[in-house]
Structure 1
Amino acid sequence: MKSLDRAGNPSPWRPDQGNGHYRNPVLHADYSDPDVVRVGDDFYMTASSFGHIPGLPILHSKDLVNWSLINHAIVRMPLPGYDKPQHGKGVWAPSIRYHDGRYWIFYGDPDVGIMMTTAEDPAGEWSEIHLVQEGKGLIDPCPFWDDDGSAYLVHAYAHSRSGIKHRLRVRRMSPDGMKLLHEGTVIIDDPARHPTIEGPKMYKRGKYYYVFAPAGGVEEGWQTVLRAEHPFGPYEDRIVLKQGNTPVNGPHQGAWVELASGQSWFFHFQHKDAYGRIVHLQPMEWTQEDWPTMGTDIDGDGIGEPVQEAEKPDVGGHYPIAAPVASDGFDSDRLGLQWQWQANPKPEWYSLTERTGYLRLFAQPNLEGSSSLYESPSLLLQKFPALSFRTTVRLDAAGLTGGNQAGLILFGYHYAALVYSADPAGGAQLQLRRGDTEREEVVWQRRTNAEAVGLRAVVRDGALCDFYYRADGEKFERVDQPSFQATVSKWVGAKVGLYARTTENVARGYADFDDFTVEEATGNEEEG
């Protein structure tokens, strides 16, 4: 049984095993710092998007295992500076909640403060971003509305901006979510036991207020839970999830979800190098002493460890296997939701209407003073969707003029791109170009007389990547170069996508792309 995305295309990652069980991760993609809310029989997830636009992805599920990307809460970033890349800035660790008939997302911008947006329909239009509390270094906010109507907000601090990384604070908030009312109370500040603590999520169960908070750092940390009988404490704390003897490093930061059936589940991420922060789902139970336990306690020390496979959540029904869309035939007048730019997009960068069924990218100049694509705002990128996969695209280069290049790119601090390069003196070359944050070089090339070519990138376990091209025949040929090791970028995993660039100072020329397909790597990558 294949996992299908919302467009009906086979997905290269399938968490639902089709036998009543699922495997982790449920999303093998960089949905960093996930948070989830249940509203009736529906579940909605959001995640960090940093400086990539559109931002604040909204995913939907009916069973916590099969997810579809349905929207973004931020279509354009209204803050200054986002006409060019803002690597690692922007949207950090959001929280999503449902209150008073509306959906709410709060997030921290480490350079600005605590931000909020709201909507009646998560798949519809979200409000303009509102600054709840100005403050450099205020991050990871989570709102909480109590039974008596009073409102609170818990947040952490960004060490890079404030010098603090081991402190959580709870503040009173106006019930409309528009402002914080006072400085509040520090509920934990214990660098010896929790050298880094952040990403808090606030809940209430019975007589206790709980703050779920990751500690110990992204790559090697653990999940901590604090509880108290009053929102301002005093709080006691306990470690409830750790890596232990499993391959899942740093299991922490996510969301507790309680089902109508009474079951509890916990989402968290795993930092997996080039793949980014992928999303796991853990079964969760409550002890007689009212502490949560997550995963399974393999070594008997009272702390849970992540499971690799489990029985699916009891949601009272069976739902189709699904996955976020990755492929795009460019048959719509709007880009698929999977695509993000490195900055606020401009209309002159692309068109989906000038040639029906194609994406036209207009060749853009490099940022002034840069010979690398790292600071290029007009890269069109999406997340790596699986442990291994292949992506193929058809490129019509008839619109490229001399000095233009366009193609398929695997992007991070280090990047590689298989491109069609139009020669100013006439003719063209297929090139493999490699670069980093400062420079770029051609490592392979061959002449071609074709104007229409097929480009393919194959990503294998470990994020080792090979490129293939088809210019004159039915089969793809492998680019005769060592495999490229994909890498992270600033706080995000590697991405795959498209671009068109000119060596001139103004945009000139264009490339047409069709049938961007993402599928399982077959092991026979020369076949069309």
Structure 2
Amino acid sequence: MAWTSTRSWPRATRTRPGSCPSPASRTAPSGTGERGRRPGSVAGALLLALAACAGFAAAAAEPVHFDWYEYTGRDAAFEQPLPPGHYRNPILAGYYPDPSIVRANGRYYLVNSSFTHFPGIPVFESTDLVHWNLIGHVIDRPGMMDFDGLGTSRGIFAPTIEYHDGTFYVVTTAVDAGGNFYVTAKDPAGPWSDPVWLPDIEGIDPSFFFDDDGKVYIINNDAPEGPPRYEGHRAIWMQEMDLAAGKPVGPRRVLLDGGMDPSTNPIWIEGPHIYKRDGWYYLVCAEGGTSVNHSQVVARSRNIWGPYEPYEGNPILTQRDLPADRPAPIANAGHADLVEGPDGRWWAVFLASRLYEGRHYNTGRETFLLPVEWEEGGWPRILPRGEVIPRIVRAPATVGGPVDQAPWSGNFTWRDDFNGPTLDRSWIRMRIPKTEWADLSSRPGMLAIHPQAENLDTLHNPAFLGRRQQHLVFEASTALEAPAAGVAAGLAAVQSEQYWFFLGTRRADDGLEVFLERRAGDAPAEVLASRTVAAGREVKLKIAGNEGAYSFGYDTGGGWQWLVEDADGRILSTEVAGGFVGAVLGPFAREEGAR
């Protein structure tokens, strides 16, 4: 579906516990019927313990062994020399949207939306706001959530991280999979608690605010008090929280109805955060939808309950008023969270997207960083109206000398030789596995993927490991042993269950078949090309992307050859595929009966 600047959020639903789907339902074309369930508390449960669930027993097919995976980015914008003491935007390249940040114990912690990918809600740590390390995930156990039956862009929306009195809190929404909840941890690397569900809080994008008097509040987006006056009419609500009891208390009230200027019918006021500075309560929100009209706005009050006075200079961040034909545009800026930096200045993390051809982006919505200026009168501003988001920015004063942000920004090569005891934290899966099909121990130094009956168009969990596409120009490659009969295996580029490429191999009567499958929308997957080659022990596969042109190659020992060049990779862009994620690439294996 085409991307638009507005969207229609259903209220987050909480449906009854469900059972595992039957084999016939594994490749349902849509998320109709039961869309999710509230999971029980199964903290620490092993994946293998869930394999007995009907329809998800471990596949009997022989595993496929991958020797390595390598990814290289070559974006022209990242080639610009970086002066000492400066950093590059985005600080997290690739699909890392809806950032939220908190300062604790001299460090910074940042989380992002993850939708139905697993593990969910990545947690990053930094000492200087520029160099980041992925230290874990909040949703890292199968029993915490269940995303079966959901489209890729449902699930976890806009988490917020807070720290108070020695405890970290993440509060968020599991859309169509339980509703609003929060989790806690003493160590942000985990483990995190099981979800504490908030059945009385409807809507999305919740955040906590801890006031000086010890009171705690939950703020979020929801429908207005009366019937919506127009499409996208929403409100910001607040209620006091009793964290000891794990529930809201007292009246729930509207802080902001519609947006900063209701006379203009503003759409999708959301992502609210409250900050306290110099006796003022600042309510900072996103407005305008998550596409090109996205923006960040602010209002303030001397009283936590308002009334909140909008800033006359709103929006404090947007790119919507810039020429559409500007070179190498960055768009969709908004959904910011503010924090005081190591140098005493305030900084904002926010999402934005790097476009090609003026409107496409396969890398999804990424995390950017800019300083916050407190203007005369005490109002914050992230970026003056009409200015483009800078790609190179002076870092906080505590950052000196050369800056190396790999593997999260800039051009770099990232390689996984699968030599460790556990998978690298940057690998993600589509939804939550019911059986452990990825194995690093059976043959040390190799990744073994046990093929499943699920294809990439499933609404369950295919045997696909993905790592985010972080560049407009890139190469992703892997080496694998030729799969056994009855198995297809190779390298996939996936935006969702409806938009993907699969560069695969399978046994043929007279050798090894290398093929390229594509799905682009509601139509079934189709084979774009195939070639039979001599069946050696190992085959290398490569996907090379150049903005909207993707090429697919193989090497069976005689050097690289292209199977397909310059296929239309725009099917992986948000403009075409819709949703809120970016493309991910990596190894995939399936039983051939899944076709």
How high is the TM-score relative to the length of structure 2? 0.75
Out of 167, 172, 183, which is 1:117 matched to? 183
Work out the CA distance in 2 between the residues paired with 1:189 and 1:372: 40
Q: How does 1:104-503 map to 2 (within 5 A)?
A: 104-111=169-176, 112-135=178-201, 137-157=202-222, 165-176=233-244, 178-190=246-258, 191-193=262-264, 194-219=266-291, 220-238=293-311, 239=314, 240-243=316-319, 244-245=321-322, 247-272=329-354, 273-298=361-386, 306-315=389-398, 321-324=404-407, 326-366=414-454, 372=457, 376-397=461-482, 399-401=483-485, 403-412=486-495, 413-423=498-508, 425=509, 427-438=511-522, 439-449=524-534, 450-460=536-546, 462-473=547-558, 475-485=559-569, 486-488=572-574, 490-503=579-592
Work out the CA distance in 2 between the residues paired with 1:59 and 1:152: 25
Distance 1:253 1:55, change over 3 A: same
Q: Deviations over 1:407-450 (max 9, x none)?
A: 00111242112111123x46320111111355112111111222
Work out the CA distance in 1 between the residues paired with 2:161 and 2:415: 27
Structure 2: state its 5+ residue gaps. 1-68, 355-360, 409-413
Work out the CA distance in 2 between the residues paired with 1:463 and 1:265: 33
Q: CA deviation at 1:335?
A: 1.1
Distance 1:37 1:372, change over 3 A: closer
Farther-moved stretch of structure 1 (25-34 vs 434-443): 434-443
Q: Deviations over 1:182-235 (max 9, x none)?
A: 342211113543222101111111111111101001112211012111111000
Work out the CA distance in 1 between the residues paired with 2:371 and 2:463: 41
Return the letter of the residue paired with 1:241.
L
Q: Does the 8 Å CA contact 2:85/2:403 hold for their aligned counterparts?
A: no
Give the match's secondary structure for 1:181.
strand
Q: Deviations over 1:335-362 (max 9, x none)?
A: 1111111121244422111111111111
Farther-moved stretch of structure 1 (20-29 vs 261-270): 20-29
Q: Does the 8 Å CA contact 2:83/2:402 hold for their aligned counterparts?
A: no
The residue aligned with 2:129 is: 64
Farther-moved stretch of structure 1 (178-187 vs 9-18): 9-18
Give the match's secondary structure for 2:544.
strand
Return the letter of the residue paired with 1:173.
M
Work out the CA distance in 2 between the residues paired with 1:97 and 1:177: 18
Q: Does the 8 Å CA contact 1:38/1:44 hold for their aligned counterparts?
A: yes
Q: CA deviation at 1:81?
A: 4.4
Farther-moved stretch of structure 1 (187-196 vs 336-345): 187-196
Work out the CA distance in 2 between the residues paired with 1:11 and 1:321: 15
Farther-moved stretch of structure 1 (429-438 vs 67-76): 429-438
Return the letter of the residue paired with 1:308.
R
Q: Deviations over 1:261-290 (max 9, x none)?
A: 221111111145321111111121111211
Return the letter of the residue paired with 1:504.
G
Q: Deviations over 1:79-134 (max 9, x none)?
A: 67434554222210011111111111110123332211111111231111111344
Give the match's secondary structure for 2:589.
strand
Q: Does the 8 Å CA contact 2:87/2:403 hold for their aligned counterparts?
A: no
Distance 1:134 1:332, change over 3 A: farther
> Aligned residues: percent identity?
29
The residue aligned with 1:516 is: none
Q: Deviations over 1:354-387 (max 9, x none)?
A: 11111111121136xxx94576533211211223
The number of residue pairs the alignment matches comes to 484
Q: CA deviation at 1:324?
A: 4.2
Q: Does the 8 Å CA contact 2:288/2:294 hold for their aligned counterparts?
A: yes
Higher relative contact order (CA 8 A, sep 6+): 2
Work out the CA distance in 1 between the residues paired with 2:443 and 2:207: 45
